Amino acid sequence: MRVIAAERAALAAWRAATGAESPAELVAAVARAGGAPDVAVQEFCASVGIARPGAGGVHPRVPDVLGGPAALGMVHQTALPRTGRRRGGVFYTPRGLARTVVDRAISAAGVPGTACDPAVGGGAFLLAVADAAVTAGRDPAVVVAGLWGADIDPVAVEVSRLALRWWAADHGVDDDPAGRLVVADALAGIPTWRDAPAGFDLVVGNPPFLSQLRGRAVRTEGRRAVLVERFGPAAGGYVDDAALFLLAALDLTAAGGSVALLQPVSVLTAEHAEGTRAAVERRAVLREVGDPGTGWFDASVEVCTVHLDVPAEAPEASYGASKSWADRLAEARGLPAVDVAAWTSRGSLGDVARVTSAFRDQYYGLVPAVTDGPRPGQPRLITVGSVGLLRDEHGRRPVRFARRRWAAPTVDLEVLEATSPRVAAWVRGLLHPKVVVAPQGRLLTCAVDPDGTIVPSVPLSAVSPLEGGHDAVSPWHLAAVLLSPPVSALVARRYVGSGLGPETLRLPARALRDLPLPGHRARWDRVAANLADLATLDNPRRRTEDLVVAGTPMCRMYDVDAAELVPWWAERVRATLRPLTGPGPG
């Protein structure tokens, strides 16, 4: 983000000094002043239909952030209108990130003889490959002749062409890659290049991230049909276009070659991308998932790098037989490992509890029946903002519901019976002891409702003990499972990057049923009793610190070593407290 901000400031100064109006005019002005070959700049201007930058006049010095061939793509992207960039997923790659991805790719597969970027944008990845190859001692003329790319944006293709011509000239080579950079939709079909190899040694890039859940990037019926025809069921549902580029990349990669693509982290865990992940692993070996860190893009999405090796024959292992894609990112981020296999015989949360979630019907049904302020005999409505550690914060802090602010929202059951009998029956079915779980956070934040007086609003889930049987548990037993360090680590690994930030996770409500139970009932009972005592503490900071102390006995419930797990978990527990109380210990 800091790089983007610096470029935006530099571009504003350049616009004022040069009179450049369109993104292409700004690219041409920066290229000319930066020392790109004049003939390349002239042909760029002719190709995109703009006037050549004036030979007269004095241009300001090109700042370092805009200098060199690799900056042209970022200049073009940053100058585009923000709405158009988001609609098309146009977020070009900073040179530092491109070089990091390329270096990681060639560290395992070697310097490629040929490389292709199927969503070339401003050419950052091809330039990074060229720099890496020359650093390794390759002939610049041979290197640049082995670079290929495609993009649906004709101007982007011309920006890449100008950047590669500039790079070649800087290395004493007269090369025009016009035939190797084409305007094509790499998802709709394999681009047609002149004299291209049958397959490339390395396919690398940053495809557009186009979520299908909402917004203007959602595919049309015609577009969906084209992708399903090419990729089959893997292109169904809400799978992001970026994930499909993994399959498109495999169509372009030679046997023995490799793929390195930036991807939204959600691709690693999203259910709608599971078919794509399975299709990829039928054709390639997932070597690693890299974590490039945050702040690279002027967008809120988290990114990772997926590195694939393409063997001469189909991989023997089936999808899911080895570590999951999320596990690979968890390793890259240093998340603690847990031995899940040792827990499989102990049962799961679904054996002792049922999970209930609120949906749109319940939400809208509740709206006319909600009043503000406590009312004897009426259940309390809590939202995500009301869920604290072990107990709810109802009435202690204002919340938002139905587009307005509430101090202590309650549900008038008589009004609800009159306006929506079906939702009223749903509410009455929840008025029993339970645990209310927030869907997103650094851990499974939950509040225990021992008296059965809470109604959870969307998107909260209620986890209620099943009645009867020798394995019957209390809500405190359920909270001990949900908050325990071993389960927190398991969820963090399975759903890494699924939330809105690098440290947050989003767990589907149905996945709560699969969480493993402890192996020691007596230890579990003691922890449950301890949590019930902790919940009586009114001071949230003291309650949090006492919960941290309880982390070690929670680990013992699962026969897990607490030495490494508890410090990691404690940091997340304290971070959960901070939004409620401000800065915590330390």
Residue 502 — pLDDT band, cuts 50, 70, 90? low
- Give dist(CA 164, CA 176) in Å, integer: 8
Higher-confidence residue: 236 or 368? 368
Bridge partners (DSSP) listed for residue 347: none
Q: Give, as one character, the DSSP assignment of residue 269.
A: T
For the chain, domain boundaries: 2-83, 94-332, 340-581
pLDDT of residue 10: 66
Exposed (0-12), middle (13-18) or buried (19+): which is 302, by Cβ within 10 Å? buried
- Beta-carbon contacts of 512 under 8 Å, excluding residues fewer than 6 positions away, are 349, 350, 355, 437, 461, 463, 482
What would the DSSP string read from start to end of 184-214?
--TTTS----TT--SSEEEEEE------SSS
The per-residue pLDDT for range 165-183, each reduced to its tens digit, is: 999 999 999 999 999 999 9
Q: Are 460 and 382 in contact (CB under 8 A)?
A: yes
pLDDT of residue 470: 58
Q: Is beta strand 181-183 parallel, antiparallel or unpaired with respect to 147-151?
A: parallel
pLDDT of residue 82: 61
Q: Where are the alpha helices (DSSP H) in 137-240?
A: 140-145, 154-170, 221-231
Highest mean pLDDT among 10-24, 215-229, 248-262, 311-325: 248-262
Higher-confidence residue: 306 or 270? 306
Q: Are 14 and 21 in contact (CB under 8 A)?
A: no
Is the pLDDT at 63 greater than 80? The verdict is no
* CATH architecture for the domain at 94-332: 3-Layer(aba) Sandwich (3.40)
CA-nearest of 491, 401, 480, 490 to 435 is 480
Asked if residue 459 has a cis previous peptide bond (ω within 30° of 0), the answer is: yes
Residue 582 — pLDDT band, cuts 50, 70, 90? very low
271: number of Cβ within 10 Å: 11
* Three-state DSSP class for residue 80: coil
Is the pLDDT at 52 greater than 60? The verdict is yes
Looking at residues 208-229, what average pLDDT do you find? Answer: 76
Q: Are 91 and 77 in contact (CB under 8 A)?
A: yes
- Beta-carbon contacts of 424 under 8 Å, excluding residues fewer than 6 positions away, are 413, 416, 417
Higher-confidence residue: 209 or 364? 364
Tokens coding 319? 């999808």
Looking at residues 439-468, what average pLDDT do you find? Answer: 92
Sign of the Cα pseudo-torsion (449, 451, 457, 460, in order):
positive
Q: Which of 74-78, 213-217, 226-230, 298-302 has the lowest mean pLDDT?
A: 213-217
pLDDT of residue 316: 67
- Beta-carbon contacts of 159 under 8 Å, excluding residues fewer than 6 positions away, are 24, 27, 44, 72, 73, 76, 121, 122, 123
pLDDT of residue 446: 94
Residue 499 — pLDDT band, cuts 50, 70, 90? low
CA-nearest of 158, 129, 157 to 145 is 129
Looking at residues 257-277, what average pLDDT do you find? Answer: 91
Could you tell me the CA-to-CA distances from 249 to 103, 179, 227, 241, 307 in Å, in that order? 18, 20, 14, 12, 11
Higher-confidence residue: 470 or 395? 395
Higher-confidence residue: 338 or 275? 275
- Number of H helices and E strands in the chain, helices first, is 22, 19
Question: Domain 340-581 belongs to what topology?
Answer: Adenine-n6-DNA-methyltransferase TaqI; Chain A, domain 2 (3.90.220)
Is the pLDDT at 565 greater than 90? The verdict is yes
- Give dist(CA 268, CA 270) in Å, integer: 6
Residue 206 — pLDDT band, cuts 50, 70, 90? very high
215: number of Cβ within 10 Å: 10
Strand runs (DSSP E) across 246-344, as ranges?
253-264, 285-290, 303-309
pLDDT of residue 581: 44
The per-residue pLDDT for range 394-417, each reduced to its tens digit, is: 998 899 999 999 999 999 999 999
Highest mean pLDDT among 89-103, 374-388, 567-581: 374-388
pLDDT of residue 88: 47
Helix%, strand%, coil% for the chain, nearest 5? 45, 15, 40
Residue 34 — pLDDT band, cuts 50, 70, 90? confident
Residue 127 — pLDDT band, cuts 50, 70, 90? very high
Mean pLDDT over each residue of the chain, to the nearest integer: 86
Higher-confidence residue: 136 or 8? 136
Exposed (0-12), middle (13-18) or buried (19+): which is 301, by Cβ within 10 Å? middle
Exposed (0-12), middle (13-18) or buried (19+): which is 509, by Cβ within 10 Å? middle
The per-residue pLDDT for range 340-349, each reduced to its tens digit, is: 666 666 799 9
- Give dist(CA 575, CA 441) in Å, integer: 10
Tokens coding 149? 């790319």
- Give dist(CA 519, CA 524) in Å, integer: 8
- Give dist(CA 530, CA 480) in Å, integer: 9
Looking at residues 96-120, what average pLDDT do you find? Answer: 94
pLDDT of residue 143: 98
Percent of the chain exceeding pLDDT 70 equals: 84
Percent of the chain exceeding pLDDT 90 equals: 58
- Give dist(CA 214, CA 126) in Å, integer: 32
Q: Which of 211-220, 231-240, 448-457, 546-555 has the lowest mean pLDDT?
A: 211-220
What would the DSSP string read from start to end of 412-434?
-HHHHHHH-HHHHHHHHTT-SSE
Residue 66 — pLDDT band, cuts 50, 70, 90? low
Is the pLDDT at 267 greater than 70? The verdict is yes
Looking at residues 301-310, what average pLDDT do you find? Answer: 91
Higher-confidence residue: 129 or 541? 129
Looking at residues 203-218, what average pLDDT do you find? Answer: 75
pLDDT of residue 2: 46
- Beta-carbon contacts of 38 under 8 Å, excluding residues fewer than 6 positions away, are 32
Q: Where are the alpha helices (DSSP H) in 89-137?
A: 95-109, 124-135
Is the pLDDT at 331 greater than 70? The verdict is yes
Looking at residues 24-30, what average pLDDT do you find? Answer: 87
Residue 250 — pLDDT band, cuts 50, 70, 90? very high
Our CA dihedral for 343, 349, 351, 354, rounded to 10 degrees, sits at: -170
pLDDT of residue 56: 45
Looking at residues 380-388, what average pLDDT do you find? Answer: 93
Q: Which of 40-44, 267-271, 537-541, 578-582 has the lowest mean pLDDT?
A: 578-582
pLDDT of residue 568: 94
Residue 51 — pLDDT band, cuts 50, 70, 90? confident
- Beta-carbon contacts of 155 under 8 Å, excluding residues fewer than 6 positions away, are 23, 24, 48, 76
What would the DSSP string read from start to end of 523-549?
HHHHHHHHHHHHTT---HHHHHHHHHH
Q: Give, as one character, the DSSP assignment of residue 460.
A: -
Quote the distance between the C-alpha of residue 211 and its chain's center: 11
Q: Which of 1-10, 44-53, 266-275, 425-434 has the lowest mean pLDDT?
A: 1-10
